[in-house]
Amino acid sequence: MEFQEQKLEQFKGQPRLPEFAVPKHYDLTIKLDLSACTFSGRVLIDVSIIGPTKFLVLNSLKLLIHQVSFTNSLNQKYVPYDVVVDSDDEILVLVFEEVLDAWDSVSYMDEGEKKNMVATQFEAVDARRCLPCWDEPALKATFKITLENIPSELTALSNMPISEEKFYYHLKTVRFEESILMSTYLVAIVVGLFDYVEDITKDGIKVRAYCPVGKSEKGKFALTIAVETLDFYKMYFSMPYPLPKLDMVAVPEFSDAAMENYGLITYREAELLQDPLHSAAANIQRLAIVVAHEVAHHWFGNLVTMEWWTDLWLKEGFATWVSYLAIVPEWKIWNRFLFLIKDGLRMDALEQSHSIEVEIEQAGSVLEYFDAISYKKGSSVIRMLENYLGNDIFQKSLGSYIKRYAYKNAKTEDLWSVLSETSKIEVNKIMNTWTKQKGYPLISVKLNDSTLEFEQTQLLSSSVEYAAQWIVPLTLSFSSYNKQERFLLETKLGKMEMGDDFCDSKKAGENWWIKLNVHQSGFCRVKYDNNLAAQLQEAVASNFLSAADEFAEECSIFNNPFLPLFSPSSEICAHDIMHVSIRLYLIVIQVRKGILDDMYALSEACLTPFSSLPNLMETYKKDLEYIVLSRLIDVCYNASKISREAIPELAYDLKQFFINLLLSHAEKLGWDVTPGESQLNGLIREEVLVALASFDHPQTKEKAIKRFQAYLEDPDTSLLPVDTRKAAYVVVMRNTSSADRSGLKCLQKIYKEVAAVQEKIRILRCIGSCPDPVIVAEILDFLLTDEVPHQDVIYVLSGISWEGRATAWTWFKANWNLIMKKWGTETLLTYFVRDIITPFCSHEMANEAEEFFTSHPVPCIALNLKQGVELVRIKARWIEHIKQEQQLLGELIKRLVYK
């Protein structure tokens, strides 16, 4: 290859590093100074020079480079005549007089800054803050890491096991074994004081959960999840875990929930520690899902890595989907997956949404795309495809994909190719319509005699029309779940002739109904014609859509080799129980929730009247299934807020309507835990009581205050079980004011004194629910103090009361500089936009937010801000439509409340 003169300017403003050199191995030594919060280091990088060049270009950010040299394969040493650090492009350019030939090495020394406790977080592009490196996911290499100057009493961890420790008085040097091939964003180092619990998988993999000193017992549940999921994923993906150990560490200050570093997963303390006295059912389920998600990444993400950040969804969507596949079936965890679908649909109904595969021009901008599209829509379309192809074909294909691309990088097209080979279906033709364009279809269905007619259009909450089209895998059920059809809607319009059985039952006047998207497995919304909608609503109201719990146990479920977590019997395969539940038992619950979901979304998009919601909600009054009731509560919250804006004079009657919907459930469950009750009861109890507390229900208030008082007198009292505390805290804050601060003072006292992080977070989630603006402002100022951990700001922001919105916006603008100083460079800043701006409902507020950020631009939240403003405008438009129904809605609510 003939060398051509290269110019320094050619490297600026480029999305990727030039392909002059490829790293093969890093030998990294870091010397820590924990007292000064600094580190220094040296790194020897073995590289392959691809073509003759006078430049080597690496990533580097905020590092002081002291010495650089290049040594070729003949042991000839060269020193660059210029070392250029470009902070804008985050690159380090080494300029040599001589042309460098192939197959040579580079060595560096660097120095920078780090926090006091060492816990790295390199995803997406922060490895360059620790060492000069080729900081792109496709440029995998092996790593040999040495840590120097470590206080001897501290534990030092990295991706691999320790190979050698040498002690020098009160300090030590720790060397780790050479890693397998991995991307730079997965390199990790942790140094701190920990206790741990330990277990071993069936394959002899040592797994440890490192916890704060004295709290190792709280890591046992997460440890069990990790061990069991390691065994499950090995079988499901037909590929063993590739490392000799897996460490999990609870980090006191951690901005993300968790990070899947190879062999060293880091977590927020609340996501790893399970406290029997302070972990509610919701905490326990979330912990299990988070651990299963991070362990899954060791196959999808770490072993097979996306080629570039455009395919971020490949690791996040798959890890999300498969984590639900692995969790205990008794929890009916696939019901919770429907929340993911709902959140993905909501974001993807925005004009400011984005495609699953999104072009990433600058690696740093990928942080905005760790969102509901990559995680929730991504996992939802995976579930849709798995449902269409069938579990056996899908699982076999994933095993082939993992085997083919192990230790390598892959693109979305590579996965589709393997799936197509196995299934003999053109998967790419179907799935390109889902991953390469944003949005999703609204499937309109009408019955014309014995013919079902379908039409697909894009559903946008703004009702703007686009000519997008999808190939939609759909399921159809009519009058019985045993009568199902699967088909592809490949065009804008489609038809299906109903069979004789359906036509005969319809003519005979029997109770018939048709449900599209039966499993809620299709990523779409459904709109029925009036006749079909009425029949379906009648089926819900008359409980025709019920299912027998014992049905799954009657099925043949003994022939699947995959056994995930906590099987109720060693003879019964929990994996098959779960899949039977999806197809037979949970299908009913998903139908009921799906109908409500679709109706709400269509009303928000002004495609159906708001007044159609209360009638449908009334039919769910006796439904005690958690997923349905939870969604009903969510609709109650949102409907209450939007109607208060549109028709304030109806606020009281609507609140009574919502209370009436939920009260019977609260009475059935009560405040006290029944011995042996299911975990789902705890989930329902918490959500129902919190809802009644939020709607200021008098009897709930009375009971909550009495039980809270008992808790103050005796924290071990049984009168305030962990699943009821959130409701009590909301009642306390809803009845706190600037004239009576006693409730706030009590909660602040508990917050300061309690050691359990779960209880602290629970208080933070509730403390902003006060309706008094003076108290809300005081609580927001509390966020700026050292009493609230940096990461925990998100919990307070998410709980700000409807009455406190204006106060929060005023506070946000007044404290802009402080907020930017503390959170301005992190994804945590997006929570300020979501929780302070999006609760508003007027075009005036949308304009004000746009004007503020025009004069205070923050590129890293630009997309998030556009989405937030769009949500505000969508609600403003919805309010205008609701106002047109004022008389009808008033009569309807009075009839429902006072019947």
Token match 């900081």: residue? Answer: 135
Structure tokens at 478: 């009519």
For the CA atoms of the chain, what is the radius of gyration? Answer: 29
**Look-up of token digits 């650089």:** 68
Q: Is 278 helix (H, G, I), strand (E, B) or coil?
A: coil
Alpha helices in 784-842 (DSSP H): 793-798, 805-814, 816-823, 829-832
Got the DSSP string for 695-714?
TT-HHHHHHHHHHHHHHHH-
Contacts by residues 83-88 (CB-CB < 8 Å, ≥ 24 positions apart): 84/8, 85/60, 86/11, 86/12, 87/61, 87/62, 88/12
Strand partners, 454: 445, 494
* Whether residue 455 lies in the annotated active site: no
- 519 assigned ligand-binding residue: no
H or E stretch at 578: helix 574-580
**Which one from 294, 645, 687, 759 is the annotated catalytic residue?**
294
| Phi, psi angles (nearest 5°) of residue 665 | -70, -40
Q: Which residues pair with 494 in a beta bridge?
A: 454
490 labeled part of a ligand binding site: no
Task: Report the distance separating Cα 605 and Cα 546, nearest Å.
Answer: 30
Q: Which of 878, 863, 802 is nearest to 347 (CA)?
A: 863
**Positive or negative, the Cα torsion across 613, 614, 615, 621?**
positive
Per the CB < 8 A criterion, the answer to whether 537 and 395 are in contact is no
Backbone angles phi, psi at 248, to 5 degrees: -125, 135
Identity of residue 769: S
CA gap 8, 94 in Å, rounded: 10
Strand partners, 495: 453
The rounded distance, in Å, linking the Cα atoms of 832 and 819 is 9
The answer to whether the annotation marks 297 as part of a ligand binding site is yes
Residue keyed to tokens 């060791």: 298
By C-alpha distance, which of 49, 422, 43, 122 is closest to 302? 122
Instruction: Report the distance separating Cα 457 and Cα 467, nearest Å.
Output: 7
- Determine contact, residues 387/521, Cβ cutoff 8 Å: yes
Binding residues for Zn(2+): 293, 297, 316
Q: Active-site residue numbers? A: 294
Binding residues: 293, 297, 316
